[in-house]
């Protein structure tokens, strides 16, 4: 989980499926989802994304996704997602996407989600560039790119690209005040390092629900698969 004190980005669980369906509007369907969600498709999406967190983060097609939550109420307010490997992007560039459900728009949640994703990428991955690709008529998202300090980067897009591209160098320091901690990819709870002298690597990461993990290339692998 990542937080700036106003929103959290936390891995979604099956219990989020109904809120995911209810939060979707035409804009989200048109810009991101490609088709309206159903309870079944939402649950499948959440399950597949949870599997992506447990696998190799750099495998093509892997999407690292979070639910965006309002800290004050705990409500699911949107979604955020990064792709570390995207065929249309140069090596080292990560693609970011986001949605905020209608009741929560205009409060800065979209921009906050982008800042947290950038902090995550800088702290936990080898990505050096964050990229946003936005439809030219998506005024709210263009404003998010601007507010988040992204620069226009049309030079990265092919000559036939119809979307507007923006980029942010992740090697610059993330915004102050952001917290990044280790959270269980399965349940989202805090993880801590368990010291075990008789273990070949000296221990493992564990959450309060007793899910146990080893660091693997680009992420965590379950200790008890």
Helix, strand, coil: what percent of the chain each, to 5? Answer: 30, 30, 40
Q: Is 95 in the site for ligand COA (CB under 6 A)?
A: no
CA 140, chain centre distance (Å): 19
Q: Is 202 in the site for ligand COA (CB under 6 A)?
A: no
Binder to ligand COA among 116, 134, 178, 191 (CB under 6 A)? 134
Contact predicate 83/19, CB 8 Å: no
Binder to ligand COA among 44, 59, 143, 181 (CB under 6 A)? 143
Binding region for ligand COA (CB under 6 A) out of 50-58, 102-110, 167-175, 180-188: 102-110
Walk across the sheet containing 179-180 and list its strands: 151-152, 164-169, 129-134, 93-100, 76-83, 64-70, 7-10, 2-3, 179-180
Binder to ligand COA among 100, 116, 127, 129 (CB under 6 A)? 100
CB closer to ligand COA, 62 vs 95: 95
Q: Is 125 in the site for ligand COA (CB under 6 A)?
A: no
Q: Is 63 in the site for ligand COA (CB under 6 A)?
A: no
Structure tokens at 179: 């917290």
Shortest CA distance to 11 belongs to which of 205, 218, 224, 186? Answer: 186
Binding region for ligand COA (CB under 6 A) out of 40-48, 92-100, 115-123, 172-180: 92-100
Q: Is 31 in the site for ligand COA (CB under 6 A)?
A: yes
Residues near 199 by beta carbon (within 8 Å), at least 6 away in sequence: none
Residues in the site for ligand COA, rule: CB under 6 A?
A: 27-28, 31-32, 97-100, 105-111, 134, 138-141, 143-144, 147
């Amino acid at each position: 989980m990542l937080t700036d004190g106003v929103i959290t980005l936390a891995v979604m669980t099956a219990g989020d499926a109904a809120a995911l369906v209810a939060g979707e509007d035409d804009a989200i369907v048109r810009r991101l989802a490609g088709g309206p969600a159903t309870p079944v498709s939402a649950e499948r999406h959440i399950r597949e994304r949870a599997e992506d967190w447990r696998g190799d983060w750099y495998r093509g097609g892997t999407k690292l996704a979070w639910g965006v939550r309002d800290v004050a109420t705990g409500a699911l307010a949107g979604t955020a997602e990064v792709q570390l490997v995207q065929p249309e992007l140069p090596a080292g560039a990560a693609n970011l996407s986001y949605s905020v459900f209608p009741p929560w728009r205009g409060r800065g949640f979209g921009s906050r989600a982008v800042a947290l994703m950038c902090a995550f990428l800088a702290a936990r991955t080898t990505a050096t560039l964050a990229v946003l690709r936005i439809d030219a008529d998506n005024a709210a998202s263009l404003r998010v790119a601007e507010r988040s300090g992204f620069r226009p980067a049309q030079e990265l897009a092919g000559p036939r690209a119809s979307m507007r591209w923006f980029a942010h160098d992740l090697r610059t320091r993330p915004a102050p005040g952001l917290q990044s901690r280790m959270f269980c990819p399965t349940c989202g709870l805090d993880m801590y390092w368990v010291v075990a002298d008789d273990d070949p690597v000296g221990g493992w990461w564990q959450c309060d629900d007793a899910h146990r993990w080893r660091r693997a290339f680009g992420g965590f692998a379950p200790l008890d698969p």
